[in-house]
Amino acid sequence: MMIALVNGRILSDHGIADGQAVLLGEGHIRAVVPMNALPAEVAQYDLRGGILLPGFIDVQVNGGGGILFNDAPTVDAIKTIGAAHAKFGTAGFLPTIISADLTAIRAAITAVDTAIEASVPGVLGIHIEGPFLNSARKGIHDASKFRALDTEAFELLTSLKRGKTLLTLAPETTTPQTIRALANAGVIVSAGHTDSNFDVVQSALRSGVRGFTHLFNAMSPLTSRAPGVVGAALDDRESWCGIIVDGHHVHPAVLRIALRCKGDERLMLITDAMPSVGSPAKSFALQGRTITVKGGVCVAPDGTLAGSDLDMAAAVRNTISLLGVDLATAARMASFNPAAFLGLEQKLGRIAPGYRADLVLLTEKLDAVQTWVGGRPLLAS
């Protein structure tokens, strides 16, 4: 059965347009047509003047709805986390496990594989952040979990049968040959929690590193004679950079500089969200430490940032207000760009015929009121 989403403002490739309707059928967008061209027999869903955008895609989701994926690498946990983020317009996400032993990572991969097979809404794959990281840039990660990327680890990292595998590693902890082998096996490799120098990162980029995890955070900085990881990321025109736009992880002026260097085509919004997102509880346990949300920031007792309390709708609003871009640009950074980073730009991230009907409806204040995943409406608020 076809359904038409009507009476909204629709974001197309040419900007936001009025007087258009989006036809959905069998989980996909069938057409975008003028309202006066709607078939008479099509059922209608009234958008009530809201703004319809492609559903947001978040490639770094540690938790939500009171659940931390590390503590509960299960299908039920993924369902809870996905439902919590759907309230804020996230229609696609990667459950993210931070540095853990291989047994826990294996359980997380199995859970994601099973969740995708069971059509749990929104799950696109897994993000394995560590444990192949540099202790000098560990951030909130437990350095006792760090280990070498050996044959056993390689086989595990390439074992997901369904969906995408994103791996964050420190390039200096492995070899260009291993990075190339991972990329050839279909793993999307991102540099993060790294103290690499510029030359090492350049070599890693040539070997298959595709992006940078939470740009500026937990990586060697740009200085006058040592460009570091940040300098390599900003200098490279092809790689993708995830950014946390919460006003706390990175100063807005620094993000605006990154925008000028990379262009909006290669920056993607991420949340790095923790269990507090979509939950009334604003404290949680992480690796034996109590993390508390203070002023919108997740912090450990020693003041270390521990992920974020950010949702994607808020990230879009912040990107507009702090980076000075328009809604269409912010929306692209939250949808099409992460889809392209994952190699899914032919299926996700646009309101166009043939694309999966992953959508979010926003109010004029850019609050999410409804999210669709594969044409299925999920109550957003």
Neighbours of 233 (CB within 10 A): 26
Q: How many helices (H) and strands (E) does the chain have?
A: 10, 23
Report how far residue 243's alpha carbon sits from residue 376's, in angstroms, rounded to the nearest whole number: 29
What's the DSSP call for residue 78?
H
Element (H, E) at 330: helix 327-334
Residue closest to 334 by CA, chosen among 321, 350, 322:
350
Distance (Å, whole) CA 319 – CA 256: 10
- DSSP string across 191-232: E-SB---HHHHHHHHHHTEEEESSTTTTBPPP-SS--HHHHH
Catalytic residue, chosen from 58, 195, 246, 272, is 272
CA-CA distance, 28 to 24, in Å (whole number)? Answer: 6
- Encoded tokens for 23: 């036809």
Buried b (16+ CB within 10 A) or exposed e, 67-85: bbbbbbbbbebbbbbbbbb
Helix (H, G, I), strand (E, B) or coil at 260: helix
Residue 272 a catalytic site member: yes
Per the document, the length of the chain is 381
- Beta carbons of 201 and 227 less than 8 angstroms apart: no
* Eight-state DSSP code of residue 140: T
Residue 303, Cβ density class (10 Å: 0-12 exposed, 13-18 middle, ≥19 buried):
exposed
Token pair of 241 as six digits: 């950079």
Structure tokens, 81 = 């986390």
Q: State both tokens at 110.
A: 């199995």
Active site (catalytic) residues: 272
